[in-house]
Structure 1
Amino acid sequence: MTARWPDPDRANIGRYVASLDLRSMKSRTCYRQVLHGFQDVAERYEALGQEVLLAWLRTAIRRAASTLLHRTRIIDRFLERLVELGAIERSPVAALRDECNIKQCMPIWRALASRDPEQALAELRQPRPFGSVLGEMMAEHVAMMRRRGYKYTSQPLLLLRFDRFLQLHPGLETEPLSAMIDRWAATNGTRHHAEECEKLKRVLAKILRHRDPSMPERRPDPRPRKQAAKQWRKPHIYSPADVRRMLDVACTYPSPRVPLRPLSMYTMLLLAYCAGLRRGELAGLDLGDVDLQDGTITIRQTKFFKTRILPLPDSVVVELRAYIDARRRAGGSQDARSGLFWHERG
């Protein structure tokens, strides 16, 4: 059974850092330093709450804002793991997040690090989901559609935005539905918002018709969508000349402190163009994912949580072999689990 936290022997921190499989000693040291410092503060308080978070922030106030906010992410993940293990009942950050009705942790930390945390938290608080005069009706409709097997993901987001607007304008509670929608439409004159209003009218008409089948079916208005489509950005397709220019720039990129960087950028662009890899997939490549003999590359845990093996053209294999040789000469780790795109500074 997992010990409650804070634990005197601090075994939870040791096990957590070991489970992360961090590649560099510097990262492991940083994680331990941050977590031990946080536990030092937590041990001075009877309960793990907002006071602990504020006290820890005060101890780190001299650090740069970017460094401090990076360390809050370390704390967030550690607290989530403690909740999973049953070492704590709930993360205080998650409690504040739920209280403010927001999904992200970073705004909570920014508010706590401000000069007036209570005022900043008050400004963060969002209306309760489906808490307006129409909220119950909209929530019941979303639940019904999902029970019928529909994913129904985009419509609830639209309904929630309208619900939030109604809660922020309580004077509309006695107005007819058409007046509520007109007031919401008047808040933004863009074509995109006009299209959203048309979608909202269609969804609300469906809700009302489900509740009263005798209501006449509403005819959709295609004009807002056509107007919004006129301002959509057209994708830019890179020509071979564009790609050649980017590769030339990458090769000549000035990097006196990290000599391997130009070749790394060149190889990354080459893989992105020739193999269709996303940025996250490029950054997640390990040395062991490359098979120069078979001319393939393994992409693990892609955007859709699948692993795939891609064949590479012979010309790309030649360039990839040249990069791996340069990486080895620069002192890069030869462990198969080490990152493919490595540089001298870690």
Structure 2
Amino acid sequence: MNTTPSLESGALQNFVRQLNLKTKDSTRVYRSVLGGFQRFVIQHSPNGVVSRRIIEGWLRDRSTVWPRHMVLHRARMVDRFLDWRVISGSLVNNPLAQLRQDYGRSDTTSIVRALLAGDPASALEALRPPPQFASFLGSAMHDYILLMQAMGYRYATRAATFLRLDRFLQNRPDLASQSLDVLIREWTGDAPTAQHAFECLSTVRILARALRRQAPSVAMPAIDPRLVQQARQAYRRPYIFTDEDVRRLLDTARSLPSPHAPLRPQTVYTMLVLSYCAGLRVGELAHLTVGDIDLGEATIEIRETKFFKSRRLPLAPSVIAALNEYLESRRRAGASTDINAGLFWHQQPVGSYSYVSTCELMRNVIRLAGFKPQPGRIGPRVHDLRHSFVVNRMLAWYHEGINPQSRLPYLATYLGHKDINSTLVYLTITQELLQEACNRFHTFAAEALQDSIGGQP
């Protein structure tokens, strides 16, 4: 049954204990809020059944005592507690989780706001997302996505863009009789920036190619060269970290203040080492496991990433030394040594850093090192470390007297690219790289000129 145990059952204490909360105040707050929720259920529900009506009643009762932001925060505590009870088998289902599923929401806050509204049923219904690919062009978009996926492409990014177009068209059935050029103009009007307009144009041109398979008379929207130029100029240029910059980042990571998570400074230090020295993407860092590291062979395994590629990368001795040090510290901290355990471990129940937390952790170090201001989406990005890896690798080849062009296919393979063109995108022309290329050309031109003069009769 979906019932609440008595306060003496120990479920609440067991739940709070497994959270591994860092302070006594946090433990006290959790016990107070969850204990109050259980008392409310016992007092207002026959047989202690946890239902949507009971949760709604508890929320309205608490909103007369707590400010709204506190109700939202503590409702998430209750939600996590009910999820834990479902997993442990003491509860059949969590009504809040059921509402999230029914209305297509990933967050609890929007559900709680709807339950506290004057008309909860209407507020919940407003949360329901529109059906996918239900517009007058939805079936064509959906069929094309299935075709591309059947051909071996993940096609997730473009599929998401098609979904945005589909939602727009569901609200604009009047465009069904209009040309694709009119559709582009109306869709672009939602956010008239050069990048948005270029994305709208690119997406509709792909859709036009799909439509022309069935109706060759469909007109292909023309490309506006001026729009393409404006969109390219609007993209942020990557920041290329120098060797001195990287040393500053690593020193900042080592000294990262983290009194409640002593392993975190070394964790982010190792993340930065792999990101810069091996050119790993953030997603590749987040998905690494203990078994992916082979200290004996000095390699790291990157599995099933972009373009469905897996690759085994040789690592420099300094990188292997950093990994060895981190694995030893990780073992002393009590982390699991199972080969399937996440490499970058923390003490929370999830056990390892997610993509978002990995990115945020590294971004925080970039800010603390003084490369990126605190507010806004400006300054160097985490992905710029991958750009820096490529540029600095090219510079190293120039310094070693190696022709970089002959090594580009190897670099593309190391980065996990499907071809050399993807690698060329990362070749940001810095002043130093340009100077090295000029020096190489002058040397070549001087030899060619000398041979030409020497060969004259």
Alpha-carbon spacing, 1:308–1:76, altered in 2? closer, same or farther (3 Å): farther
> Which amino acid is the alignment partner of residue 314 of structure 1?
P
Q: Which residue identity is paired with 1:142?
A: H
Output aligned runs, 1:11-160, within 5 Å: 26-27=18-19, 50-51=52-53, 54=56, 65=72, 68-69=75-76, 72=79, 75=82, 93=97, 97-99=101-103, 102=104, 104-106=106-108, 108-112=110-114, 114=116, 116=118, 117-118=120-121, 120-132=123-135, 134=136, 137-140=137-140, 142-143=142-143, 146=146, 149-150=150-151, 156-160=159-163
2:439 aligns with none
User: 1:248 Cα deviation (Å)?
Assistant: 1.8
Structure-2 separation of matches of 1:255 and 1:216: 60
Q: How does 1:329-340 map to 2 (within 5 A)?
A: 332-333=333-334, 336-337=337-338
CA apart distance, 1:219: 5.7
Question: Is residue 236 of structure 1 aligned with residue 243 of structure 2?
Answer: no
Instruction: Report the CA distance shift for 1:123/1:263 in structure 2 as closer, same or farther (over 3 A).
Output: same
Question: Partners in 1 of 2:274 and 2:158 — Cα distance?
Answer: 38
Contact 1:275 1:312 in 2 (8 A): yes
1:220 pairs, out of 222, 239, 252, with 222
Residue 249 of structure 2 aligns to a residue whose secondary structure is helix
Report deviation, 1:211.
4.6
- Going from structure 1 to structure 2, the CA distance change for 1:155 and 1:79 (only over 3 Å counts) comes to farther
Q: 1:246, CA displacement in angstroms?
A: 1.0
Return 331-340 or 194-203, whichever deviates more: 331-340
Q: TM-score, normalised by structure 2?
A: 0.49
Q: Decide whether the 8 Å contact of 2:188 with 2:197 is kept in 1.
A: yes
- Conservation of the 8 A alpha-carbon contact between 2:115 and 2:123: no
In 1, distance between residues paired with 2:169 and 2:87?
A: 34
Task: Provide the aligned C-alpha RMSD in A.
Answer: 5.5
Name the structure 2 match of 1:253. 256
Structure 1 residues 253 and 236 mapped into 2: Cα distance closer, same or farther (>3 Å)? same
- Asked whether the 8 Å contact 2:141–2:162 carries over to 1, the reply is no
Q: Distance in 1 between matches of 2:130 and 2:269?
A: 48
Task: Note if contact 2:184-2:200 (Cα within 8 Å) is conserved in structure 1.
Answer: yes
Distance change (3 Å), C-alpha of 1:295 and 1:114: farther
The structure with higher relative contact order (CA 8 Å, sep 6+) is 2
CA contact (8 A) 2:299 2:315 kept: yes
2: CA distance, partners of 1:334 / 1:95: 35
Distance in 2, Cα, partners of 1:157 & 1:121: 24
Q: What's the counterpart of residue 13 of structure 1?
A: none
Q: Secondary structure at the match of 1:221?
A: coil
- Secondary structure of the residue aligned to 2:19 is helix
CA distance in 2, matches of 1:202, 1:238: 37
CA contact (8 A) 1:285 1:341 kept: no
| Partner AA of 1:27 in structure 2 | L
Residues 46 and 165 from structure 1, CA distance in 2 versus in 1: closer, same or farther, beyond 3 angstroms? Answer: farther
Partner of 1:183: 186
Matched to 1:238, the amino acid is F
Is the contact made by 2:198 and 2:231 (CA closer than 8 Å) also made in structure 1?
A: yes
Instruction: Determine the C-alpha separation between the residues in 2 that align with 1:124 and 1:182.
Output: 28
Identical-residue share of aligned pairs (%):
29
1:123 offset after TM fit, Å?
4.3
Question: 1:320 offset after TM fit, Å?
Answer: 4.6
Structure 1 residue 270 corresponds to structure 2 residue 273? yes
How far 1:54 moved relative to its partner? 3.3
1:108, distance to aligned residue in structure 2 (A): 4.2
Distance (Å, rounded) in 2 between the aligned partners of 1:96 and 1:259: 36
Aligned to 1:18: none
- CA–CA distance in structure 1, aligned partners of residues 335 and 159 of structure 2: 49
Asked if the contact 1:54/1:113 (under 8 Å) is kept, the reply is yes
CA distance in 1, matches of 2:263, 2:158: 48
In terms of mean alpha carbon deviation, does 120-129 or 305-314 score higher?
Answer: 305-314
CA shift, 1:198, in A, is: 2.2
Distance verdict in 2 for CA 1:183–1:79, change over 3 Å? farther
Which amino acid in 2 is paired with 1:111? R
2:237 is paired with a residue whose SS is coil
1:234 deviates by 2.0
| Kept in 2: contact 1:297–1:311 (CA 8 A) | yes
Are the aligned partners of 1:327 and 1:342 in contact in 2 as well (CA < 8 Å)? no
Structure 2 unmatched ranges of 5 or more? 6-14, 22-26, 352-457
After superposition, the Cα gap between the structure-2 partners of 1:74 and 1:289, relative to the gap in structure 1 and judged at 3 Å, is farther
Please give the per-residue CA displacement for 1:259-282, whole angstroms capped at 9, x wherever unaligned.
655444434433443344555665
Q: Distance in 2 between matches of 1:46 and 1:287?
A: 44
**3-state SS of 2:234 partner:** coil
Give the residue type in structure 2 aligned to 1:197.
Answer: C
In 2, Cα distance between equivalents of 1:156 and 1:320: 37
Q: Deviations over 1:73-115 (max 9, x none)?
A: 6756876999xxxx77x9764565554xx45344643534655
Count of aligned pairs between the two proteins: 317
1:189-220 Cα shifts (integer Å, max 9, x gaps) = 2112322332354355446544544x265363
Residue in 1 aligned with 2:429? Answer: none
Whichever structure has more helix as a proportion of its residues is: 2
**Are 1:192 and 2:203 an aligned pair?**
no
